[in-house]
Chains A and B, each alone.
Chain A
Amino acid sequence: QKEVEQDPGPLSVPEGAIVSLNCTYSNSAFQYFMWYRQYSRKGPELLMYTYSSGNKEDGRFTAQVDKSSKYISLFIRDSQPSDSATYLCAMTLRSNDYKLSFGAGTTVTVRA
């Protein structure tokens, strides 16, 4: 069983729709959670991180963590074609920990 499971998609939505992305994990010791965005032929870039259960908002993006269910989500509101990318979840045991465990990534296409 993989430590971090992420549905690879692909996910195709019309412009303006809400995109919902999810990851589940098996190690209850994970404390810090991140979402990376990776455009085609580019390296991943950090989109959001959070360390507590609940919601964190940043513009059109909301990260949600449910530690009791070992489940994290990323929501993109009012999606734009520029949001078309692969989204990777990542998590780690401690702050300042070099070792990130990544999900496989979900490919999202937002249709104009």
Chain B
Amino acid sequence: DVKVTQSSRYLVKRTGEKVFLECVQDMDHENMFWYRQDPGLGLRLIYFSYDVKMKEKGDIPEGYSVSREKKERFSLILESASTNQTSMYLCATGGGLQETQYFGPGTRLLVL
């Protein structure tokens, strides 16, 4: 059974803080993704990684960076959190149709 875990379910941070969101998968998948989900906007891709130390920008990378030092772990970093980054953040692994995208439970981030 695929397991994608995210470090926190709920997080409250202050404007300007550096925020780390971590995602761990146990399926040995090459691809990992970070999305944010906002009401009325659906899921939007922030960054993805197709291999260790490899990353590519998604549709909304501004204000975010990522790190993938190990295959099973993909971190999303908010360098200086802002209130417009209040959102639900979802990590996913896999990719393509042969490997469907498996999502973690999400982290609800509130930036005050």
Among A42, A98, A102, A103, chain B packs the most CB atoms within 10 A around the CB of A98
Known A43-B106, A98-B33; judge A105-B42 contact (CB<8 A).
yes
Q: Smallest CB-CB separation from A103: which chain B residue? A: B42
Is the contact region of chain B dominated by helix, strand, or loop, or is it mixed?
Answer: strand
A44 B43 Cβ-Cβ under 8 A: yes
Binary flags per residue of B28-62, CB closer than 8 Å to A gives 1, else 0: 00010100000111111100101000000010000
Give the complex CA separation of A72 and B73 in angstroms. 35
Q: How many residues of A contact B (CB 8 A)?
A: 24
Interface of A is mostly: loop
B33, B92, B97, B100: residue with the most chain A Cβ atoms closer than 10 Å: B97
In the complex formed, the residue of B with least CB distance to A4 is B42
Identify which of B4, B42, B97 gathers the most chain A CB atoms within 10 Å of its CB.
B42
Q: Is the CB–CB distance between A46 and B106 below 8 Å?
A: no
A97 to B, closest residue via Cβ: B96
Which residues between 4 and 21 of chain A lie within 8 Å of chain B, taking CB atoms? 4, 6, 8
Cross-chain pair count, CB within 8 angstroms: 58
Q: Say if the beta carbon of B74 comes within 8 Å of chain A.
A: no
Question: Given A41-B105, A43-B103, A32 and B42 touching (CB < 8 A)?
Answer: no
Of chain A, the residue at the smallest CB distance from B91 is A43
Known contacts: A4-B42, A43-B106. The answer to whether A96 contacts B101 by CB under 8 A is: no
B100's partner among A46, A51, A88, A99 (CB-CB below 8 A) is A46
Q: Closest approach, in angstroms, between the C-beta of A92 and any C-beta of chain B?
A: 8
> Which residues of chain B are within 8 angstroms of A43 by Cβ–Cβ distance?
4, 90, 92, 103-106
The answer to whether the Cβ of A76 comes within 8 Å of any Cβ in the partner chain is no
- Which B residues fall within an 8 A CB radius of A? 4, 9, 31, 33, 39-45, 48, 50, 58, 90, 92, 95-98, 100-106
Residue pairs across A and B with Cβ atoms less than 8 A apart, 20 shown, are A6-B42, A41-B105, A43-B4, A43-B90, A43-B92, A43-B103, A44-B43, A44-B103, A45-B102, A46-B100, A49-B100, A88-B42, A96-B96, A96-B98, A97-B96, A98-B31, A98-B96, A99-B45, A100-B43, A104-B39
